[in-house]
Structure 1
Amino acid sequence: MKKRPDKLTGKRERTAIYGTGKRYRVKGIPGIQDRSFHTSEDAKQWLASAKTDSSRGEFVDPRKGEILVADYIAEYWWAGRSDEPSTADPMRSRIWNHIIPLVGDYALREIDASALRTFKAALLTRVEESTAEVIWGHLSSILGSAVDDQRLLRNPMKAKNSVKPPRAIDSKAKAWSREVVDAVRAELQDRYQIAVDLGIGLGLRQGEAFGLAEEDFDFAAGVVHIRRQLRWDIKGRPYFSLPKGRKTREVPLPANLALRARAHFRRFPSTSCTLPWRNPEAPTTALEERQRKPITVELILTSSHGNRIYYRTWNDRSWKRALAAAGLIKPVGEKVRHDGNRVRRVLLYAAPREDMFHVLRHTYASVQLEAGESVVSLSKWLGHSTPKVTLDHYAHFMPGAGQRGIAAMDAWLRDPSRPKVPEKSLLACRAAHLPPNMQVKGIVQQGTDMSVKYKETARGGLAVNIIEC
């Protein structure tokens, strides 16, 4: 209707859009935004449904789910996170390089089974299944937060059973032999050989080894305190932080490793290094200033120039060269470097991930388990959250893994007509070569009805205890 009445008739006239608007409005429901409808039937139906869902605590206004996935991530999800750089940087890279380009233009409420299938198919053309599994988890976390923010009723990635998440191919942890460890250690520079000893003897991660200080060695108590790790953010800035899982731990110090450590300390004195704690970014509040206050550590592993070790440079110029010298990998090319007037040709290596520094940690676990060490103790020394994590990674290193099951299955499938005699007894050998004579078969049949209980003597013979007929 027009605002002003007609001068001749004194009545307000209808406009061109008269009757096309939403005339019926529902309002007054606590916690629910008002909504308008074209017909009273639609309004009443929505009102009844909204009241029911509201009473159950399940009401979600569909209009809140109209925000785009990209906008929700940038404005609400990512803005509310406070991860350390070692976690935040790779996570941000995966989200902005894969999730936002593939599903960023979808509204939250449009993420259904079809959209997830399309996302999964496109994702697997970009990355390996192991990386796709991690990215899938990121998207599930984003949609789960949208549920908590009452923008979605439920997480479609958990409600849609027809769409399975990508799964990486299960691969067992690899351990090196003593010969391989010694060969790689011998090819490293003398100042870096202790790194192999720390990985093998303590099961340290690479960042934990590079962040270890001389004061962390308690020779009197025979333990090493794992208190920190040396990390680098995506911009190449170093900092110290707690070990993975924000857990410090104590690891038993083998006597021979203690001797090697003392020798290393005498030959290569520790170097003082001061770095920020937890985050290299400049603090913006008093709390961040206290949390990121730099600490000074006497590092036992430093470069030949006395600097902290940058893991990428160390892996390329020291570790991979040692692997190549030990015959584990081969060069795949070369890179030309211009240092002033000098031209250097540097060989490039493509070492598989299973042969990088972490393999020393796997070898430490394998040696411990093969020696019969408790899984609970090993889990504590490795810094795992639970012994289950240790079993999932290293159960195949346990002595006789799988042999009990094979023996049980073999016993299950044993021919019941065969006499139950010791595997190494003389009767077992004779029974396998009995001639097809009826009289002999009759004697054997009588023998099968007799239970012979025996035990092994100290000299390897059999002593009959009881004969039951």
Structure 2
Amino acid sequence: MARDSLVRGMGSFFKECEHPRSRWSKCPHPYKIRYRAAAGNQVEESGFADRDKAIDRLTEVYKEKKAAPRSQSKADRIQKYGAMRFEEYAEEWKAGQRHLAVASMRHLDSLLQHHLYPALASRRMHSFDHKVVDGFIRTMERNGVGLATQANTFDKLRSILLDAHRLGIFPDNPVAGVKPPQYDPARAVIPSHEQLRVIRTAGDDAFMLIVDLMSGCGLRNGEAAAVNLNNIVADDVYRVTEQVILSTRQYGPLKHRKAGEYRDVPLPARVRATIEWYAETHGTVDGYLLRQPTDPGKPYPHWGMDNQWRRIRAAGQVDIPEGMVLYGNRHFFASNCLSNGIPITDVAEWMGHKSLDVTFKIYRHLMPGSISTAAKVLNLNLAV
């Protein structure tokens, strides 16, 4: 099927017949045109006796679109997207989240499939308001969804609805005034120094190395699994460059970072000694210390550390705080920093949080001091 295009934005005219373009003026088949309406949807019309009539119609449509007030374009968007069901709109929105890493996209899919779609999939977009959003949060509460999952799910719902708000679907912000779920800092169970000392030696050498990296450098589980001897860039600095992705079981970029981006974290002397001891004792592969036990050609798997943690807890021979998870070793790093007066801005950067707000919500209760303490400290350098 041959086709002729006109000025950009006007569309095209064509014939659906076996005749070549050079014979169009003489063949009896009617012309067809194709263009995009103001709302963005593709339109096709047919029945034009000759080329001029097809072009005249395209010109007419083009002039109407140019002359139409911007409010009409907005009305068309509202009509198109407002009538969409939430699932359809969310899938279109998700396609534009190209900046998300594999693990983040997998997490987004999980929140959509297990929490958002079961409750909201068929709802029309124009029907959302703060009452609908608040009702959804209460539904999660009734269903016993964990606070961290509630907060993550609400964050994704808010992003989708604000995207629709920018298109003009809602006259008012549909999440304005909604009290978001609050992550409970008390859930961040942190071991004491003595408990940590026993925990780090409760598993094998790989487990001890991982615990030291999490508690001493603030690394996430997957980042500790990707520890590399070559990333010691100074005696007291470790450069975190990658992690073992849970979904792919391969090395990948850091959370909230693009490929090639990194963060430098403090490297305590004891942690450096553990890294160097492990490398000397077990060797390395291209600098990597931890590999899959059954296949050294593959990265160290998440289940390697998770299985050990479950066995240690089940044995009941180690003093582990009630409710503590493996991630509690990373919480220890934050606690150790903040209780020793290190600024929370530095802690947020070293831990690789997306924003300072995340660090503040989780660890505010660990920050030392009070108004009375501050008054005494500030008084020391005031003029008499």
- Structure 1 alignment gaps of length 5 or more: 1-29, 34-50, 273-297, 330-350, 409-469
* 1:276-329 Cα distance to aligned partner (Å, 9 max, x none): xxxxxxxxxxxxxxxxxxxxxx321234333532213421x2122224330437
- Distance across 2 between alignment mates of 1:122 and 1:112: 16
RMSD: 3.3
The higher-RCO structure (CA 8 Å, 6+ apart) is: 2
Indicate the residue corresponding to 2:71 in structure 1.
54
Distance 1:32 1:71, change over 3 A: closer
SS of aligned partner of 2:238:
strand
Indicate if the aligned counterparts of 2:189 and 2:325 stay in contact, CA closer than 8 A: no
- Distance across 2 between alignment mates of 1:373 and 1:115: 42
Indicate if the aligned counterparts of 2:183 and 2:362 stay in contact, CA closer than 8 A: no
Which of residues 291, 299, 305 is equivalent to 2:288? 299
The one-letter amino acid of 1:264's match is Y
State yes or no: 1:308 paired with 2:299. Answer: yes
Q: CA deviation at 1:388?
A: 5.6
Indicate the residue corresponding to 1:134 in structure 2.
152
Indicate the residue corresponding to 1:253 in structure 2.
267
- Distance across 2 between alignment mates of 1:77 and 1:271: 41
SS of aligned partner of 1:232:
coil
Distance 1:155 1:265, change over 3 A: same
Indicate the residue corresponding to 2:249 in structure 1.
238
- Distance across 2 between alignment mates of 1:106 and 1:200: 45
The one-letter amino acid of 2:289's match is I
* 1:24-80 Cα distance to aligned partner (Å, 9 max, x none): xxxxxx9589xxxxxxxxxxxxxxxxx99829x965655321122222223x22233
Indicate if the aligned counterparts of 2:244 and 2:301 stay in contact, CA closer than 8 A: no
- Distance across 2 between alignment mates of 1:386 and 1:80: 22
**Count of residues in Structure 1 that have an aligned counterpart in Structure 2:** 304
Which of residues 198, 223, 235 is equivalent to 1:183? 198
Question: By percentage of residues, which structure has more helix?
Answer: 2
State yes or no: 1:328 paired with 2:328. Answer: no
Q: CA deviation at 1:150?
A: 4.3
Indicate if the aligned counterparts of 1:60 and 1:152 stay in contact, CA closer than 8 A: no
After superposition, residues 164-243 of structure 1 pair within 5 angstroms as 164-171=179-186, 173-219=188-234, 221-233=235-247, 237-243=248-254
The one-letter amino acid of 1:98's match is H
- Distance across 2 between alignment mates of 1:112 and 1:255: 54
- Distance across 2 between alignment mates of 1:190 and 1:258: 14
SS of aligned partner of 2:250:
strand
Give percent identity, aligned residues only.
23
- Distance across 2 between alignment mates of 1:117 and 1:368: 37
- Distance across 2 between alignment mates of 1:243 and 1:79: 21
Indicate the residue corresponding to 1:456 in structure 2.
none
TM-score by length of 2: 0.68
The one-letter amino acid of 1:226's match is V
- Distance across 2 between alignment mates of 1:357 and 1:72: 37
- Distance across 2 between alignment mates of 1:373 and 1:168: 23
Distance 1:392 1:96, change over 3 A: closer
Indicate the residue corresponding to 1:319 in structure 2.
309
- Structure 2 alignment gaps of length 5 or more: 1-36, 41-67, 378-384
State yes or no: 1:63 paired with 2:52. Answer: no
Indicate if the aligned counterparts of 1:173 and 1:393 stay in contact, CA closer than 8 A: yes
Q: CA deviation at 1:373?
A: 3.1
The one-letter amino acid of 2:320's match is L
- Distance across 2 between alignment mates of 1:140 and 1:203: 30
Indicate the residue corresponding to 2:101 in structure 1.
84
Distance 1:111 1:404, change over 3 A: same
Indicate if the aligned counterparts of 2:133 and 2:175 stay in contact, CA closer than 8 A: yes
The one-letter amino acid of 1:120's match is I
Q: CA deviation at 1:213?
A: 1.0
Bigger radius of gyration, 1 or 2? 1
Q: CA deviation at 1:181?
A: 0.9
SS of aligned partner of 1:198:
helix
- Distance across 1 between alignment mates of 2:197 and 2:245: 27
Q: CA deviation at 1:375?
A: 3.8
State yes or no: 1:125 paired with 2:142. Answer: yes
Indicate the residue corresponding to 1:100 in structure 2.
117
SS of aligned partner of 1:250:
strand
